[in-house]
Amino acid sequence: MEKREIKKVLIANRGEIALRVQRACAAMGIRTVSIASEADRNALFARQAEQLIVIGAPPPRESYLNMEKIIAAAQSSGADAVHPGYGFLSENADFARKVIEAGLNYIGPRPDSIAIMGSKTAARERVSQYGVHCTPGSAAGLSDPELAEKAAAIGYPVLIKAVAGGGGRGMRVANSAHELAEALPRARAEALKNFSSEDVYIEKYILLPRHVEVQIFGDAYGNVVHFGTRDCSTQRRHQKLIEEAPAPNLPTALRESIHAAAVQAAKSVNYRGAGTCEFLVSGSDFYFLEMNTRIQVEHPVTEAVTGVDLVQLQLKVAMGEPLPMTQEQITFNGHAIEFRIYAEDPCRNFAPSNGLITALKRADLPWVREDFAFEEGDQVNIFYDAMISKMIILGDDRLDSIEKSIEALNAYQLEGVTTSIAYHLWLLYNEAFRKSPIDIGFVERELTPEAVRAIKACRLRDPRHQKPTGGAEVKSTYNYTSKKFGKTCEIEILHTRNGTFVARPVDMDGTRARNMYCRRSNGLNDAVKCLINDVLEQVPPPQLFGGQLHA
């Protein structure tokens, strides 16, 4: 491939990914031009744009999905390349082709690679030829009776999926022939609405799998490398909410097999640029799910553990440069978790929460990276995705990352709209998640509004809490006289790193009493209960957890 310098990039997207591409281009000395709809003309990415072109009305079909307007904006601005970001037209082979036909450099894979991987059935057929294992399924273009016949042969339950789909849209689970007959019309209608095609196919539904994906990268010279795994099993309605890198608790042999399958899938279409191969993992088995032919929302966790800027690498590969590293030169350090913070109310089935952000305090911690799209005073509107920011936490290992995540999310304060932070904290406190990765159906089974409301109460911070520094514990003691027992004792309060308090009565000789008050304990010594209650009357306690002291 002939090397082709990029001097100016049109960013064909909005929100935090538009800001992310702006930063990558600026770091490489490449100029940018951003596009925006009328609704976004005052958004953060538009305010920070080097050059801005407002291209249409708020509905995406009139702005961010309008190929002709986007290409015209690139040509009129003097841009010589287009970066599609993620979502919108980022996996549209026709758009990539039209960009190239207009004489512009498309920062992404070739149109034919996008077309093959954009069809779930064509992708399955292609990667299977390269030895990549797929779940049993049907071809595309089948009628409802033909799909029913195929489902009977595969065995129920089966999953109905849109051939041109993604993000869970058009997806239905059928546990019987009757359910299949009822679900197919709805799945086809949803596929038509979202992807302009009602074509669906079916595949065997794998019970309680994990969702593991691999970040791959190819260049124009046939080189393909991987940047490790991510676990994206924390989902709601097939939409990812939390991602981790690397995927935890995978035996080395299984991890290496998944890596190899992802590289082979990329080579099957002569892949160039950034892409992600997604797999379902069940026990020691794994199955190819699909390939996303773009940069992923969750790419920062991979950047955190590898130290590689993947967006800058996209630009270099698009300019015809070979990959600057071999597989052996890619190393992994630590464990990263990404939280997608949405303007949604988890207590109301994640209903959108639009409005004005009236106050915003970010988590100013050294191990936190935040890719954000909004600032204080910005409006979260109804037209687009409600993701406010992505918070990326890097720890020494998974448990360290979880504990740091609790501290970071508790430090993050936003007013004016309801966010998904309480949901994230619910998960981080959940013992099942803390011990091992969960399956993709865990959130749907376990999350309740009551659990999230309890976490929301926990976020009411007491001003008397003292943040531990340097790893040292902060302790306070309170002297009091018990009228009931006629003696003076102490209560020791420990200020923990995650913002909670631990209270213990101290005996007269200075040792901690064996019995400790805890709101979740049963059968405690009545005398100790009275002792603590007496303290609560004399010394107002920290109000975290509804005013109850934790032990």
DSSP states of 349-414 as a string? Answer: TTEE--EE--EEE----TTEEEEES--TT-EE-SSS--EEEEEEEEESSHHHHHHHHHHHHHH-EE
> Which long-range contacts does 529-538 make (Cβ < 8 Å, 24+ apart)?
530/482, 530/484, 530/485, 531/482, 531/485, 531/489, 531/505, 532/491, 532/503, 532/505, 534/480, 534/482, 534/483, 534/484, 535/478, 535/480, 535/491, 535/503, 538/480
Predicted local confidence at residue 518, as pLDDT = 35
State the Cα–Cα distance between residues 240 and 443, nearest whole angstrom.
Answer: 11
State the Cα–Cα distance between residues 258 and 21, nearest whole angstrom.
Answer: 29
Lowest mean pLDDT among 80-94, 326-340, 487-501: 487-501
Residue 117 near residue 92 (C-beta atoms within 8 A): no
- Give the pLDDT mean for 219-229: 97
Q: Per the structure block, which two tokens stand in for 459?
A: 């976020």
Measured between alpha carbons, how far is residue 161 from residues 121, 127, 212, 444 in Å? 10, 18, 19, 19
Predicted local confidence at residue 462, as pLDDT = 63
Predicted local confidence at residue 516, as pLDDT = 40
State the Cα–Cα distance between residues 297 and 446, nearest whole angstrom.
Answer: 25
393-451 residue pLDDT tens? 999 999 999 999 999 998 999 999 999 998 999 899 888 999 888 999 998 888 888 87
44-90 residue pLDDT tens? 999 999 999 999 999 999 999 999 999 999 999 999 999 999 999 99
Predicted local confidence at residue 547, as pLDDT = 33
**Does residue 530 register a pLDDT over 60?**
no
Please, where in the chain does CATH 3.40.50.20 lie? Answer: 8-107
Residue 343 near residue 379 (C-beta atoms within 8 A): no
Predicted local confidence at residue 509, as pLDDT = 56
Torsion of CA 43, 379, 458, 402, to 10 degrees: -20
Q: How confident is the model at residue 544 (pLDDT cuts 50, 70, 90)?
A: very low
CATH number of 136-204: 3.30.1490.20
Torsion angles phi and psi, residue 252, rounded to 5: -55, -45
Mean pLDDT of the chain: 88
Amino acid in the structure at residue 488: T
Q: How confident is the model at residue 521 (pLDDT cuts 50, 70, 90)?
A: very low
Torsion angles phi and psi, residue 245, rounded to 5: -140, 135
Triad 211, 434, 285: Cα angle to 5°: 30
Q: Is 294 a residue of the active site? A: yes
Neighbours of 502 (CB within 10 A): 16
Residue 218 near residue 226 (C-beta atoms within 8 A): no
State the Cα–Cα distance between residues 214 and 260, nearest whole angstrom.
Answer: 10
Please, where in the chain does CATH 3.30.470.20 lie? Answer: 210-458
State the Cα–Cα distance between residues 324 and 2, nearest whole angstrom.
Answer: 17
- Give the pLDDT mean for 480-487: 67
State the Cα–Cα distance between residues 187 and 161, nearest whole angstrom.
Answer: 7
Triad 215, 22, 367: Cα angle to 5°: 60
CATH number of 8-107: 3.40.50.20
Q: Using CA of residue 60, residue 66, residue 70, residue 72, what is the dihedral sign?
A: negative
pTM: 0.81
Torsion angles phi and psi, residue 486, rounded to 5: 65, 35
Residue 58 near residue 383 (C-beta atoms within 8 A): yes
**Does residue 515 register a pLDDT over 90?**
no
Predicted local confidence at residue 98, as pLDDT = 98
Predicted local confidence at residue 541, as pLDDT = 41
Q: Per the structure block, which two tokens stand in for 489?
A: 């004792």
DSSP codes, 459-474: T---TT-----TTPPE
SS3 content of the chain, % helix, strand, coil (to 5): 35, 25, 40
CATH 3.30.470.20 fits 210-458, yes or no: yes
Predicted local confidence at residue 546, as pLDDT = 32
Q: Per the structure block, which two tokens stand in for 182?
A: 């009822």
Considering the candidates 124, 294, 340, 504, report the single residue annotated as catalytic.
Answer: 294
Neighbours of 94 (CB within 10 A): 12
Please, where in the chain does CATH 3.30.1490.20 lie? Answer: 136-204
Query: Which is nearest to 135 in space by CA: 287, 259, 291, 284?
Result: 287
Element (H, E) at 26: helix 15-27
- Give the pLDDT mean for 163-186: 87
Strands 31-37, 52-56: parallel, antiparallel or unpaired by DSSP? parallel
Q: How confident is the model at residue 232 (pLDDT cuts 50, 70, 90)?
A: very high
Residue written as token pair 């939390």: 242
Q: Go through 7-19 and write b for each residue having 16 or more CB atoms within 10 A of its CB, e for each that does not.
A: ebbbbbbbbbbbb
State the Cα–Cα distance between residues 214 and 230, nearest whole angstrom.
Answer: 6
Q: How confident is the model at residue 7 (pLDDT cuts 50, 70, 90)?
A: very high
N- to C-terminal Cα distance for the chain?
Answer: 65
Measured between alpha carbons, how far is residue 412 from residues 183, 287, 369, 490 in Å? 41, 38, 12, 34
DSSP codes, 190-251: HHHHHHS---EEEEEPPSS-EEEEEEEEE-TTS-EEEEEEEEEEEEETTEEEEEEESPSS--
- Give the pLDDT mean for 192-208: 89
State the Cα–Cα distance between residues 384 and 509, nearest whole angstrom.
Answer: 63
User: Partners of 504 in the beta sheet?
Assistant: 492
Predicted local confidence at residue 218, as pLDDT = 98
Strands 81-83, 8-11: parallel, antiparallel or unpaired by DSSP? parallel
Predicted local confidence at residue 347, as pLDDT = 83
Q: Which residues contact 109 (CB under 8 A, 6 or more apart)?
A: 96, 218, 269, 271, 272, 273, 275, 293
Predicted local confidence at residue 504, as pLDDT = 72
Q: Per the structure block, which two tokens stand in for 79?
A: 């841009």
